[in-house]
Amino acid sequence: MATILLTGATGFVGRHTARHLAARGHRLRLAVRSCGGAPDSVVIGSIDGRTDWSGALRDVDTVVHLAGPAHGKVEDEQVFFQVNDAGTARLAEGCEAAGVTALVFMSSIAAREAEGQPGAASPYARSKLAGEAHVRRFGGAEGRTGIALRPPLVYGPDAPGNWAKLMRLAASGLPLPFASVHNARTLCAVDNLCDAIAAAVEGGIRSKGTGVYEVADRESVAIAEIAGLLRDGMGLPRRLLPAPPDLLAAGLRLAGKGAMAEQLLGDLKVDAAAFCRAFEWKQPMDARAAITACGKAYMAKRSAER
């Protein structure tokens, strides 16, 4: 059992992670920006290169760093670097000073692009890659472990962003033009991600696994299958119609939804094999079952709110 400082605990992934780690018997301290949080919270203010982590890190074994600005929701691109780069560097320094054993950092599969094509990568992707470097350096010393996780799109019944929009679209019952879209997309169920975070924490405590790892569902799915599975869970007919994928992508881009076009219609293969080997991890939930469960939970919540 570890004493864990968790940042980003009020976010989508953070809420699930807090419950998951507590259920495994770990003691949690939640880093929050302002007063009014849970009894086990500590106020740290904004995360940047000046954050004072000393009080929050006292008597902490492990840090799980999930806090960060959401991709696509920040107008000033420098905010990504203030939080993901300078803020993570400051946290790593604080962890070193406080004698923290393990630091687990939530990066993004976007960092892969920044690693391979830095000139074409977004500021978000480059800032995540910079954050990974600080975690690697922290884990380079004897007795310390630094682990960075790169998930793709994380989904769940309460997920925000494009996944929430897709669930609303599926729940509409309208015919959807996805029957001809046979892309291969790897996603990550939030329950699988939380289980992977716990595996990283427990491995890190044992000085095991410093490095950067892709984490995702084992199974790849196409948008046609995702929409169909959501509607299966919702108890709705699939109602998928054929339409040329290139035409769909062009329409979304014209509407200023280029990122959505890529997420819905493009291919993305993520391989968690290295993480599975390093931490002897097996995902607890099948992707297709998790997507169907999202549809079921979404409709149950909507019915309860009526």
Say what the pLDDT of residue 66 is.
98
- The mean pLDDT of 227-253, rounded to a whole number, is 93
Residues 6+ apart with CB under 8 A from 49: 82, 86, 87, 89, 90
In DSSP notation, 92-111 reads: HHHHHHHT--EEEEE--THH
Q: What is the DSSP secondary structure assignment for residue 69, as one 8-state letter?
A: P
12-23 and 190-205 helices, crossing angle to 10°: 50
Largest CA distance in the chain: 58
Give the C-alpha separation, 250 to 144, whole Å: 48
Among candidates 224, 220, 223, which has minimal Cα distance to 179? 224
| Cα dist from 33 to 48, 58, 106, whole Å | 12, 17, 18
Query: 194-203, 251-260, 278-287, 291-300: lowest mean pLDDT where?
Result: 251-260
Answer for the pair 16, 10: CB distance below 8 angstroms, yes or no.
Answer: no
Answer for the pair 279, 203: CB distance below 8 angstroms, yes or no.
Answer: yes
- Tell me if residue 204 falls in helix, strand or coil: helix
Residue with tokens 């001809």: 180
Say what the pLDDT of residue 73 is.
63
How does the average pLDDT of the chain come out, rounded? 93
pLDDT in tens, 140-189: 988 999 999 999 999 999 999 889 999 999 999 999 999 999 999 999 99
Go through the domains of the chain in sequence order and give each one's CATH number. Answer: 3-150 (3.40.50.720), 153-188+217-269+282-306 (3.90.25)
Task: Give the confidence band of 37 by pLDDT, cuts at 50, 70, 90.
Answer: low
Say what the pLDDT of residue 46 is.
93
Among candidates 269, 132, 271, which has minimal Cα distance to 210? 132
Say what the pLDDT of residue 36 is.
63
pLDDT in tens, 73-103: 665 788 999 999 999 999 999 999 999 999 9
Answer for the pair 86, 48: CB distance below 8 angstroms, yes or no.
Answer: yes
Say what the pLDDT of residue 192 is.
98
Give the C-alpha separation, 117 to 239, whole Å: 39
Q: Express as a percent the part of the chain with pLDDT over 90.
A: 78
Give the C-alpha separation, 235 to 117, whole Å: 43
Say what the pLDDT of residue 251 is.
86
HSE (side-chain half, CA atoms, 13 Å) at 141: 16
Give the C-alpha separation, 188 to 151, whole Å: 7
- Tell me if residue 63 falls in helix, strand or coil: strand
Residue with tokens 């310390």: 144
| Cα dist from 67 to 70, 80, 190, 192, 196, whole Å | 9, 11, 16, 19, 17
Answer for the pair 146, 139: CB distance below 8 angstroms, yes or no.
Answer: yes
Q: Which helix (H) or strand (E) holds 214?
A: strand 211-214
Threshold 0.75, pTM exceeds:
yes
